[in-house]
């Protein structure tokens, strides 16, 4: 009976209308219109049977006036009223899209009720700030990373001031590690590139039958011309690595740098092969080590990675791969799911008539080639169902590859820009007379980026919690 009395007090009018006050804007709403959308806040208010449940949905309730108060923006409430009258949402271009989104979320109205005339522009306007935030975060990350790399560069350069012949060693260090620092460094860089390309070319030509020489027993032997190019290249690479090691500002951390490890790996196979030959000649039982030596000779192809020291693009590519492991993992996951699915489909429809697809593992090869749009053509489906499966596999492969590649490309653009900025700073440095002051870095902009990022994250938290609107108002 108490609940029934309270219900009569709550809806004293015959049509069950309720009175609401939104930021001073008073309206009288019919319950039959509100009940058309039972998941909205006002419709849930109709089902309340106690004052406590009412206050969970509104900010205040006046017993004497039977009026419900909501501390919300009255300028946006007409859009809510229009929704209850027509069943569709509309949004004007002059409105703040995030304020409107918070408002309809508060009233329990889904974005799916947006009319077709407003839905496209609404979602586009919501995506624009997210893209801008991503660019700002990327720019801030680029600024922060470049800032630390510049400080590390100047810190390493400053270590020479306390060393014997520090000024001379620093000049040699800059000349070897900074290809664009001076004219001699550019000449050394060009010569090193030519030696790398010559070494790779001689290795490739040595594998061709036109350049193969035979000994008296008819067995292939080394061409003296290619062997001379190989020895010259190894001598230059070894001299280059030893020179860098001798003038390094910190010998203990020398091989922590990836480019120095690449230099070591590029010459290590030659010396290991030489050691294998000496061991094989001294002990006939160890003649099988010659096969290991052949594998080590093939590892000379890693010398091509030495070009990364002289190429901004290759260094940016390495940084992109290092920082895109999540996107690469996502790409591999998509491919694995697609390959597993389409290989079983192809096996099911082709196993009786196609020897190339008579097992599921054989289907893995076909699905991998098809999803990556390589299409060797060594295995092809023959039936109509198989061709339809192949068509779906190719189309799915295009989508699977394109989606993560876009994210990886954006990161590559970011790292390429950062690497160019870093190289510009390094090439313009001047250490004559030692380092008398720290590099010129705009710390105000650097910390402004930090504060801006913090404020953006707080803003995102407030947007994701509409119930905290009153707290946000008090803070502002």
Q: Which candidate, 257, 278, 265, 203, places its Cα nearest to that of 237?
A: 265
Handedness of CA 41, 42, 47, 48 (dihedral sign): positive
pLDDT in tens, 247-263: 888 888 888 888 888 88
The rounded distance, in Å, linking the Cα atoms of 356 and 347 is 9
User: 395 vs 258, 356, 376, 390, CA distance in Å?
Assistant: 38, 22, 17, 9
pLDDT reported for residue 181: 73
Residue 276 CA to residue 290 CA, distance in Å, equals 7
Is the distance from CB of 343 to CB of 367 less than 8 angstroms? yes
Determine the pLDDT at residue 28.
Answer: 85
Query: Residue 378 and residue 342: Cα distance in Å, rounded?
Result: 17
Cα–Cα distance for residue pair 371/392, rounded to 1 Å: 9
The DSSP call for residue 72 is: S
Q: What is the pLDDT of residues 47-79, one digit of tens each?
A: 888 888 888 888 888 877 778 889 888 888 888
What pLDDT sits at residue 311? Answer: 76
Is the separation of the CB atoms in 55 and 6 below 8 Å? no
DSSP collapsed to 3 states, 34-60: HCCCCCCHHHHHHCCCCHHHHHCCCCE
Task: Look at residue 441 in the predicted model and tell me its pLDDT.
Answer: 46
Q: How high is the pLDDT of residue 464? A: 42
Give the chain's radius of gyration (CA, Å): 35
Burial class (CB in 10 A: 0-12, 13-18, 19+), 199: buried
How many other CB atoms are there within 10 angstroms of residue 235's CB atom?
12
Helix (H) or strand (E) holding 147: helix 116-158
Which parts of the chain have pLDDT scores under 50? 1-9, 12, 131-132, 134-135, 138-145, 434-444, 446-448, 450-451, 458, 460-476
Phi, psi at 49, each rounded to 5°: -125, 10
CA–CA dist 296, 472 (Å, integer): 65
| Confidence (pTM) | 0.51
Rounded to whole angstroms, the Cα distance separating 60 from 67 reads 9
Query: Which residues have CB under 8 Å from 54's CB, separation 6+?
Result: 10, 45, 48, 61, 68
Domains of the chain: 17-125 (3.30.710.10), 163-309 (1.20.120.350), 316-429 (1.10.287.70)
């Amino acid at each position: 009976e108490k609940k029934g009395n309270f219900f009569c007090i709550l809806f004293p009018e015959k049509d069950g209308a309720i009175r609401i006050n939104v930021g001073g804007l008073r309206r009288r709403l019919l319950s039959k219109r509100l009940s058309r959308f039972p998941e909205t806040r006002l419709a849930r208010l109709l089902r309340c049977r106690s004052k406590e449940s009412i206050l969970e949905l509104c900010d205040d309730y006046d017993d004497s006036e039977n009026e419900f108060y909501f501390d919300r923006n009255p300028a946006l409430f007409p859009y809510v009223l229009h929704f209850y009258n027509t069943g569709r949402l509309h949004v004007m271009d002059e409105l703040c899209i995030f304020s409107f989104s918070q408002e309809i979320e508060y009233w329990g109205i889904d974005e799916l009720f947006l009319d077709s005339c407003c839905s496209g522009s609404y979602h586009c306007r919501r995506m624009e700030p997210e893209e801008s935030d991503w660019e700002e975060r990327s720019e801030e990350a680029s600024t922060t990373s470049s800032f630390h790399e510049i400080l590390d560069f100047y810190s390493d350069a400053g270590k020479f001031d306390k060393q014997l012949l520090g000024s001379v060693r620093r000049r040699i260090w800059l000349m070897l590690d900074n290809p664009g620092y001076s004219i001699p460094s550019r000449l050394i860089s060009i010569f090193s590139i030519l030696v790398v390309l010559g070494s790779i070319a001689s290795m490739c030509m040595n594998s061709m039958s036109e350049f193969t020489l035979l000994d008296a027993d008819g067995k292939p032997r080394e061409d003296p011309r290619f062997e001379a190019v190989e020895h010259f290249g190894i001598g230059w690479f070894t001299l280059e690595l030893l020179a860098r090691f001798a003038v390094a500002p910190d010998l203990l951390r020398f091989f922590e740098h990836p480019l120095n490890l690449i230099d070591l790996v590029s010459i290590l196979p030659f010396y290991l092969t030489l050691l294998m030959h000496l061991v094989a000649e001294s002990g006939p039982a160890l003649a099988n080590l010659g096969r290991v030596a052949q594998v080590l000779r093939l590892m000379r192809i890693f010398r091509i990675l030495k070009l990364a020291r002289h190429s901004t693009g290759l260094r940016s590519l390495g940084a992109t791969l290092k920082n895109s492991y999540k996107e690469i993992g996502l790409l591999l996951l998509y491919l694995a799911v697609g390959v597993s699915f389409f290989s079983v489909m192809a096996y099911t429809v082709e196993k009786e008539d196609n020897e190339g697809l008579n097992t599921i593992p054989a289907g893995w090869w076909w699905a991998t080639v098809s999803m990556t749009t390589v299409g060797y053509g060594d295995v092809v489906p023959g039936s109509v169902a198989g061709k339809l499966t192949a068509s779906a596999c190719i189309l799915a492969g295009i989508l699977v590859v394109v989606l993560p590649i876009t994210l990886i490309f954006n990161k590559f653009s970011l790292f390429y820009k950062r690497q160019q900025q870093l190289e510009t700073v390094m090439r313009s440095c001047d250490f004559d007379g030692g380092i008398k002051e720290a590099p010129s870095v705009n710390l105000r902009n650097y910390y402004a980026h930090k504060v801006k990022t913090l404020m953006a994250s707080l803003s995102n938290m407030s947007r994701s919690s509409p119930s905290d609107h009153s707290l946000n108002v008090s803070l502002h």
